[in-house]
Amino acid sequence: MLAVAILAHLSLASGACTRDLLKGITASYLDALALGKPTTMKSLGAEGTALAYQENDVSLDISKGVLSQSVSIDFNRSIYDTTECASYTEIVSTGKHPYVIGTRLAVTSDSGKLNKIESVVCDDGDWLFNAAGSLRYNKQEVWDPIPEAKRDKREVIKAAGDAYIDAWGDSSVQPPFGKSCARLEGGSYLTGNCKLNFQPPFKVTNRRYTIDEELGAVDIFHNFPFLDKFIPRDPGTQTNNLLRVEGGQIKYIHENTVCSKKSCAK
Ligand SMILES: *[C@@H]1O[C@H](CO)[C@@H](O)[C@H](O)[C@H]1NC(C)=O
């Protein structure tokens, strides 16, 4: 008993990343976004270290970005990755400036401080953007915690996410789609078939993962080649895909893809 207590204490002292830590920081991100006051965020970087802030793959002064705009939040959903010490949050705003924003918060587990905030910020003119549609369909999905005995391992969830993306340029890859797989792409909803293939070569690069075994979720920030006619084909525009995996099978997919200029689709 004593040994267990001491071990637990040691692992805390060395800065283990907990779900509660990530939940607290994520909640304060949401509050700051709603207030339009990034400086109110908890754990804003260790002393003397710069916090990296990016929107749509571009580095930005945090005070000049969407976090300073006071975004009314109609809906939020978050996942927590205690292994990578990161969270991913999506919000939908149907306010005066409608947005769908996906944000990955990366925390240094030793200090419990934020070290990077990166967001995919979608609004009018982005790929299939429609905040009312996003709100309606996202809200109706069920993302309850998966009972412990039924949880997929992190590797299984990650492999499902990678297979989904790898299959775009390689039709020999068969992603594990569930029967009722549904994809929320921008504000449009497609059910029953989540398969996508494009003309190869189609190489998806720059993948950053957030994985939550409790929610059966993986989010992948990455680049999407070809779609945006205003920029070079590769690596392409920024996007992210959030997947819910149940029993090894893909149930839901959410895609938010940014256009460098309005209505960029080829
Ligand atoms: C986020 O969603 C939860 C419900 O899932 C809600 O209780 C909370 O108030 C929301 N936060 C914000 C800032 O809208």
- The CATH number of the domain holding residue 171 is 3.10.450.50
The reply to whether 95 and 162 lie within a common domain is: no
At residue 5, does pLDDT exceed 80?
no
Is the CB of residue 35 below 6 angstroms from any atom belonging to ligand 1? no
Instruction: Check whether residue 37 and residue 94 sit in a common domain.
Output: yes
| Band of residue 224 on the pLDDT scale cut at 50, 70, 90 | confident
| Alpha-carbon distances, residue 77 vs 141, 254, 256 (angstroms) | 11, 11, 14
Do 215 and 113 belong together in one domain? no
Q: Is the CB of 34 under 6 A from ligand 1?
A: yes
Q: Both 27 and 114 in a single domain?
A: yes
Of 123, 138, 166, which residue is a domain's last? Answer: 123
Residue 105 falls inside a structural domain = yes
Residue 76 C-alpha to ligand 1 middle, in angstroms? 6
User: Residue 218 domain-assigned?
Assistant: yes
Pair (88, 177) in one structural domain: no
What pTM did the predictor assign?
A: 0.91
Q: Which atom of ligand 1 is nearest to the CA of 30?
A: 13
Domain total of the chain: 2
Does pLDDT of 157 surpass 90?
Answer: yes
Residues 90, 161: one domain?
Answer: no
Q: Tell me: do 91 and 184 sit in the same domain.
A: no
Name the residue of 30, 89, 140, 215 whose CB sits within 8 Å of the most ligand 1 atoms, as the mutation to test its pocket.
Answer: 30
Can you tell me the distance from the alpha carbon of 225 to that of 239, in angstroms, rounded to the nearest whole number?
A: 10
| Residue 217 in domain | yes
> Angle at Cα 175 formed by Cα 172 and Cα 176, nearest 5°?
140
Label residue 9 by pLDDT band (50, 70, 90). very low
Average pLDDT over residues 59-80: 96
Mutate to test the pocket of ligand 1, among 29, 75, 76 (most ligand atoms within 8 A of CB): 76
Task: Please determine, for residue 12, whether its predicted confidence score (pLDDT) is greater than 50.
Answer: no
For residue 33, the ligand 1 atom closest to its alpha carbon is 13
Query: Above 90 in pLDDT, residue 169?
Result: yes
pLDDT at 104: 98
Any ligand 1 atom below 6 A from CB of 76: yes
- Residue the block writes with tokens 């959903």: 77
31: helix, strand or coil = helix
Nearest CA to ligand 1 atom 13: 30
Tell whether 152 and 198 lie within a shared domain. yes
Same domain (yes/no): 153, 107: no
Mark whether 89 and 202 lie in a shared domain: no
- Cβ-contact 214, 201 below 8 angstroms: no
- Are 112 and 182 within one domain? no
Share of the chain above pLDDT 90, in %: 73
27 lines ligand 1 (CB under 6 A): no
Which residue is closest in CA terms to ligand 1's atom 8?
A: 76
Q: Which atom of ligand 1 is nearest to the CA of 73?
A: 14
Task: Tell which residue, 161, 131, 127, 150, has the closest CA to residue 236.
Answer: 127
Residue 222: domain span: 148-257
Residue 229 above 90 pLDDT?
no
- Say yes or no: 152 and 115 in one domain: no
Residue 131 lies in a domain: no
Read off the pLDDT band of 256 (50, 70, 90).
very high
194 or 234: which carries more pLDDT confidence? 194
149 pLDDT higher than 70:
yes
pLDDT, average across residues 164-188: 96
In a domain, 140, yes or no: no
Kindly indicate the confidence band of residue 11, based on its pLDDT and cuts at 50, 70 and 90. very low
| Residue 10 predicted with pLDDT over 50 | no
Residue 134 lies inside a defined structural domain of this protein: no
